[in-house]
Amino acid sequence: RWRCLLAARELHYCPETAGKIIIACCVLHNLCIKEGIDVPELTEVELQTEMTRQPADRIDRAPPVASSAQALQAGQRARAVILQMLKRNRRNSV
């Protein structure tokens, strides 16, 4: 779901920062689940990259997304839904 966690499998940040990034991704993932936002599928290129970096027993064979433009639009819609939910929750908690 989050490109910062995709493929590289390398630590580009200090452990403390990497931990914060992972926690933020988990929180956002849970918000998406709560709002019914599906996990976007990988493009063909992303799928191939992931397959070459995964052990054979962990390969996800999900079909690729039709186009990156569609994936971008889906991501923008998901972001808008999350922002609306956060704003709504903030208003309700004040």
Q: Per the structure, how many domains does the chain have?
A: 1
| pLDDT tens-place string over residues 53-85 | 666 555 455 555 556 777 778 778 888 888 888
Task: Tell me how far apart the alpha carbons of residues 49 and 15 are, in angstroms, rounded to a whole number.
Answer: 25
At residue 94, the pLDDT reads 66
Average pLDDT value over all residues in the chain: 75
C-alpha to C-alpha distances, 31 to 1, 11, 25, nearest whole angstrom: 12, 25, 10
Tokens of 49: 């990259």
- Domain containing residue 41: 3-93
Place of tokens 């403390």: 16
At residue 44, the pLDDT reads 82
